[in-house]
């Protein structure tokens, strides 16, 4: 038997209870054999059925875990963790394998929450098959609950699809008594068929769900708006170079019957399909009160920053992420962040925080100048002197005169970190407060720290660690605007360039940046861009805006640029330097390893392939 383990009906299932607008989890049902009264018990009344529904969310990957659970947290050159023994670091170093795959969501191994997503899909169908039997559940409530379960079954298919490419499609509860047949030993289905199936289920779910959350204590549950947003992301991915006309990698990718698993002929209309879905998602989101977060939405203390153009843009951008359930968030991962996750691992070193995740030098250099231009394109910015130390600021020039999102996202030596309710000055040189010490395991390998993910009011000092919890943004409105710009540019080129620019400029202006046209005019460029130029601008804007949110890992892959960005040496400061001269040296930190084409799709384990001989392995493994 290959997809499901016979031992489990609820297999140590985590039941998530919504409290204070956030999910908390606890054990619900122990491991039990199939065909017992457990299912009847789970659906005996309204409350037990609701707990079962909440348990379906527990299969979601732990998006806010920066040490182990979030596959995309530090497995690229965006942010490097000092703890090199964890699964994320092993993936970055090219230690993925087919014998014991890392982040094995197929089987539920080497991943969090450690449960197969196929089992999660099965649980969704158990729920759908039983919910109409529950006394006390009205038709309207049952409709909403069915919408949630339908979406989650489709969403778990999507998580598997983005990771493995073509997958088996499970559209019903598998009968455990079966011993043969394609239910138990299914074939992988063509990628486009998988996309169409997930889209169909998303549409079904959206039609059953409310557009807004009716009560604060239910925040985190899906709505029709979040479903449409996830559909938009799926169709953007399907139109992208990795999956649309990729004859280079997938011309021989076929199942055991010789059926092609990838359509290797480029189809421009996939971009139009994405455009329509993204526009629909934007429309329903804005109709239901979603908009870009602005500085005026910030209600916190103002004494830790100045009301300059830079600082107001910095606050508007940073709180887009950390202000709980703000007006821009479309869907958030609601399980409260625990210890050894993003905030504790990124906050400056103290007795209760570890400052162990540092942006790479390439990430530092990706952000714009204060004029909204790449640092090598701005004639007013001394690109050739970027590694020299400013005698007044006592930091590299690369840290000066940058855009507000840089100061919201990155902490650098002698720069400010907004945390503990104050603006704390960072000292990253060896032997200093936040720097390397001999024998220490808590320091930044790159001499920078990730700042964006830490709430400024989170307290992390020698005597206290009090997290200000916020939902990890699975998707927010800015991503939809960026996706719309990308799809429009790919389909229409110059014909829709003004609309493309309008979508980019809304995001830039929130962070107090000039428009794209005004910025590039400084570099002597006219107001019209070629399709290739615009593609580069869009991709850079997306990389900056969504930095450290987990999208870059997948964007680089769908853009078919893994060998360009994920197979290179990562650089940072010399963290063992004790003074300005020795610390401010750009130094190799880690060598990334990315094998093409293997790195684009994850391997299925050889054990799974031996159980189900109808499966074929991904290219390169």
Percent of the chain beyond pLDDT 70?
Answer: 93
Chain segment 561-585, per-residue pLDDT in tens? 999 999 999 999 999 999 999 999 9
Chain segment 91-106, per-residue pLDDT in tens? 999 999 999 999 999 9
Q: How many domains does the chain have?
A: 1
- What is the band of 37 on the pLDDT scale with cuts at 50, 70, 90? low
Q: Is the peptide bond before 169 cis (omega within 30 degrees of 0)?
A: no
DSSP state of 589: E
Chain segment 320-345, per-residue pLDDT in tens? 999 999 999 999 999 998 888 899 99
Q: How far apart are CA 56 and CA 49, in angstroms?
A: 11
Chain segment 125-142, per-residue pLDDT in tens? 999 999 999 999 999 999
Tell me whether residue 514 is in a domain.
Answer: no
- What is the band of 10 on the pLDDT scale with cuts at 50, 70, 90? very low
Q: By residue range, what is the domain housing residue 385? A: 295-473
Least trusted range by pLDDT, from 108-112, 271-275, 549-553: 108-112
Cα distances from 480 to residues 134, 228, 291, 417, in angstroms, run 38, 11, 11, 29
Tell me whether residue 507 is in a domain.
Answer: no
CB-CB contact of 349 with 440 (8 Å):
no
Tell me whether residue 331 is in a domain.
Answer: yes
Tell me whether residue 101 is in a domain.
Answer: no
Chain segment 283-323, per-residue pLDDT in tens? 999 999 999 999 999 999 999 999 999 999 999 999 999 99
Tell me whether residue 76 is in a domain.
Answer: no
- What is the band of 86 on the pLDDT scale with cuts at 50, 70, 90? confident
Residues with Cβ within 8 Å of 249's Cβ and at least 6 positions away in sequence, in order, are 242, 596, 597, 600, 619
Buried b (16+ CB within 10 A) or exposed e, 337-347: beeebbbbbbb
- What is the band of 70 on the pLDDT scale with cuts at 50, 70, 90? confident
C-alpha 534, offset from chain centre: 24
More confident call, 431 vs 113: 431
pLDDT at 177: 63
DSSP state of 397: G
Kindly tell me if the per-residue pLDDT of 19 is higher than 60: no
Chain segment 226-259, per-residue pLDDT in tens? 999 999 999 999 999 999 999 999 999 999 999 9
Kindly tell me if the per-residue pLDDT of 176 is higher than 80: no
Chain segment 416-459, per-residue pLDDT in tens? 999 999 999 999 999 999 999 999 999 999 999 999 999 999 99
Kindly tell me if the per-residue pLDDT of 33 is higher than 70: no
Tell me whether residue 102 is in a domain.
Answer: no
Q: How far apart are CA 275 and CA 491, in angstroms?
A: 9
This prediction has a pTM of: 0.94
Q: How far apart are CA 11 and CA 24, in angstroms?
A: 19
Tell me whether residue 458 is in a domain.
Answer: yes
Chain segment 187-203, per-residue pLDDT in tens? 999 999 999 999 999 99
Mean pLDDT of 391-417: 98
Tell me whether residue 467 is in a domain.
Answer: yes
């Amino acid at each position: 038997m290959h997809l499901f383990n016979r031992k489990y009906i609820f297999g140590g299932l985590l039941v998530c209870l919504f409290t204070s607008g956030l999910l908390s989890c606890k054990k619900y049902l122990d491991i039990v054999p199939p065909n017992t009264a457990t299912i009847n018990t789970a659906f005996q009344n309204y409350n037990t059925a609701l707990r079962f529904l909440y348990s379906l969310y527990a299969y979601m990957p732990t998006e806010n875990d920066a040490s182990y659970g979030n596959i995309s947290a530090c497995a690229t050159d965006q942010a490097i963790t000092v703890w090199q023994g964890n699964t994320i670091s092993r993936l970055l170093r090219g230690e993925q394998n087919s014998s014991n795959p890392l982040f094995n969501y197929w089987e539920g191994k080497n991943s969090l929450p450690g449960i197969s997503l196929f089992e999660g899909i099965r649980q969704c169908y158990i729920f759908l098959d039983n919910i109409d039997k529950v006394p006390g559940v009205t038709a309207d409530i049952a409709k909403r609950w069915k919408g949630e379960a339908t979406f989650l079954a489709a969403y778990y298919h999507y998580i598997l699809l983005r990771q493995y490419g073509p997958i088996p499609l499970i559209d019903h509860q598998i009968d455990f008594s079966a011993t043969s047949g394609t239910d138990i030993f299914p074939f992988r289905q063509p990628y486009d068929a998988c996309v169409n199936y997930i889209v169909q289920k998303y549409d079904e779910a959206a039609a059953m769900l409310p557009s807004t959350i009716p009560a604060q204590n239910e925040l985190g549950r899906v709505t029709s708006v979040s479903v449409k947003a996830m559909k938009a992301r799926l169709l953007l991915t399907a139109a992208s170079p990795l999956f649309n006309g990729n004859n280079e990698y997938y011309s021989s990718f076929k199942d055991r019957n010789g059926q092609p698993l990838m359509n290797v002929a480029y189809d421009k209309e996939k971009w139009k399909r994405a455009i329509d879905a993204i526009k629909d998602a934007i429309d329903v989101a804005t109709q239901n009160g979603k908009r870009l977060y602005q500085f005026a939405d910030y209600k916190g203390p103002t004494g830790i920053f100045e009301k300059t153009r830079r600082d107001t843009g910095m606050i508007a951008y940073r709180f887009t992420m950390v202000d709980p359930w703000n007006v821009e968030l479309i869907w958030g991962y609601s399980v409260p962040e625990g210890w050894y996750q993003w905030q504790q691992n990124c906050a400056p070193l103290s007795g209760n925080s570890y400052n162990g995740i540092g942006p790479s030098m390439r990430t530092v250099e990706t952000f714009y100048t204060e004029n909204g231009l790449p640092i090598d394109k701005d004639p007013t910015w001394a690109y050739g002197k970027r590694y020299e130390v400013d005698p007044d600021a006592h930091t590299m020039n690369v840290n000066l005169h940058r855009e507000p999102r840089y100061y919201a996202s990155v902490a650098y030596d002698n720069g400010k970190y907004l945390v503990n309710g104050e603006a704390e000055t960072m000292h990253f040189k060896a032997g200093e407060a936040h720097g390397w010490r001999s024998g220490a395991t808590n320091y930044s390998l790159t001499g920078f720290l990730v700042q964006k993910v830490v709430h400024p009011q989170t307290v992390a000092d020698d005597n206290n660690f009090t997290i200000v919890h916020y939902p990890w943004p699975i998707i927010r409105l800015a991503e939809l605007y960026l996706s719309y710009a990308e799809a429009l540019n790919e389909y229409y080129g110059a014909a829709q360039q003004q609309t493309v620019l309008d979508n980019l400029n809304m995001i830039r202006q929130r962070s107090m940046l000039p428009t794209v046209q005004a910025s590039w005019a400084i570099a002597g460029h006219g107001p019209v861009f070629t399709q290739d130029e615009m593609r580069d601008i869009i991709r850079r804007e997306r990389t900056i805006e969504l930095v450290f949110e987990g999208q870059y890992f997948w964007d680089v892959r769908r853009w078919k640029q893994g060998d360009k960005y994920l197979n290179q040496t990562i650089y940072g400061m010399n963290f063992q330097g004790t003074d300005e001269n020795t610390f401010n040296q750009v130094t190799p930190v880690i060598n990334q390893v990315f094998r093409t084409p293997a790195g684009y799709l994850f391997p299925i384990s050889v054990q799974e392939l031996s159980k189900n001989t109808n499966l074929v392995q991904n290219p390169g493994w």
